[in-house]
Chain A
């Protein structure tokens, strides 16, 4: 008999893993973390309601859509998405090894890499389900401030969701690879996200191409307030490739790191602690 196809096996691992992932302590903790931007948005809304002058950046009244765009980039893409990627991505296989349940999956007639791919899909679904309500709430709280229109800004919300999903996929795949390849993957992942990436993004030269954030920032489309420190900073960030080139690079990062991770899982022996 032949083992089921890779896609079918991956989907079945996805079915098995999604519930476990959604109701894990990790999801509860990260769900709480995702409440942070909502609280911040609520505070902005209250300030905007109480003070007619609204929320200002360097004396310029910021439109709600612009503030939302900044939050998407600075809070979600640069902080929360890498955090989610690190905590889930590095643990895709490690959780099963720590829980000693990997044996049940590795003694079934499926390729070992299907376990990784299925769990990666479950990670993606789980993190999207966590991020979605948080972003929606922030959108509805922030966009109306400064007289913004929810209807007009809604198409950009869809784009932002797409961008977040791409970010989650890219960081998740990179950290899945880190998780299968190195000892102490969590530390390596955190250093990559909050040490390496912010540093090289501010440096001139080609090093920034060795980050995920470099390609993600090309997808950020929000108009930012002008003549301010933030806009100057954004101009630095705006040294970016085209959207098409970024999407191709991000797809290559996802495919490449997942393929390497799959290979590592196929060839590695997992010794469970007695």
Chain B
């Protein structure tokens, strides 16, 4: 496959197991292509460390040196770019400021919330001011407010001239950042172009949202009052909702989280059954 990524944001969309993370690992030089060659920014990526001056990668996995503070961790990683201690610290400060983590810079990463952990991962990716930012499921597990902030940040970086590839299995997330998408399934790029072309298809399938919150029953009551909510069920400390209009649902959810009137919303994730159904349809047709 040959994929061109213009300046701005390109969304990589596909269900779980579609090959998004493998694609990300190949274009970041962690995996070697079994056939053909991979060139990124015009150069082969495998065993080419100098290319990482121009690439920033935010991986999907929630893994850190938990005992380090955010500032120590980002500084230590930026130092690997060959910068002096002073310059590395300054760049780390700048990156943490860009992801709005200045206040928590000296806290141990082990004490960070899920949203803060995602943001500190992004800080290490952008600290050395790369041309190309590759973000693998950056919104995964974030609460609605952190999501909104992160989406805004990603858009700001794109406006500042960076090329950004963002992967997700949730159309709504990608759509809120860009209209330019790559559709991937079973390791192949199925389509490349404007998100709105598949939007109608997506809307035909109910969208499932898992919400872990403080007051799940109160949230459920609020959801049931909306006509786009098709069904809901409870799971431990979460409520799982099926909605026919994800845009409207997410907008209301963000407002609810911001107002705090129904308690804290800790985590929002979406199983990808709905997207899987759309992909099955696309592949058949």
Contact = CB atoms under 8 A, between A and B. Distances in A.
A and B bound? yes
Given A1-B50, A16-B76, A108-B52, A103 B82 contact: no
Contact of B82 (A4, A101, A272): A4
Name the residue in A101, A106, A109 with the highest tally of chain B Cβ atoms < 10 Å from its Cβ.
A109
Contacts, number: 80
A56 B52 CA distance: 64
B81 to A, nearest CB: 6
Contact of B30 (A4, A12, A20, A269): A269
B80 A108 contact: yes
A263 to B, nearest CB: 11
A124 B50 CA distance: 29
B32 A107 contact: no
Interface stretch (B7-15, B61-69, B164-172, B249-257): B61-69
A132 interface: no
A110 B53 CA distance: 10
Interface residues of B, number: 28
A109 B57 contact: no
Given A1-B50, A272-B61, A106 B80 contact: no
A111 B32 CA distance: 16
B67 A20 contact: yes
Interface string A157-193: 0000000000000000000000000000000000000
B31 A271 contact: yes
A16 B50 CA distance: 20
A109 B49 contact: yes
B47 A100 contact: no
Contacts of B80: 4, 9, 12-13, 16, 105, 108-110
A274 B81 contact: no
Interface in A13-51: 13, 15-16, 19-20, 23
B21 interface: yes
A105 B28 CA distance: 12
A99 interface: yes
B219 interface: no
B49 A3 contact: yes
A15 B29 contact: no
19 contacts: A3-B82, A4-B80, A12-B79, A16-B65, A16-B80, A19-B68, A100-B63, A101-B65, A108-B49, A108-B80, A109-B52, A109-B53, A109-B80, A109-B82, A111-B49, A112-B47, A112-B49, A272-B61, A274-B21
Interface of B: 21, 28-32, 47, 49-53, 55, 57, 59, 61, 63-65, 67-68, 76-77, 79-82, 124
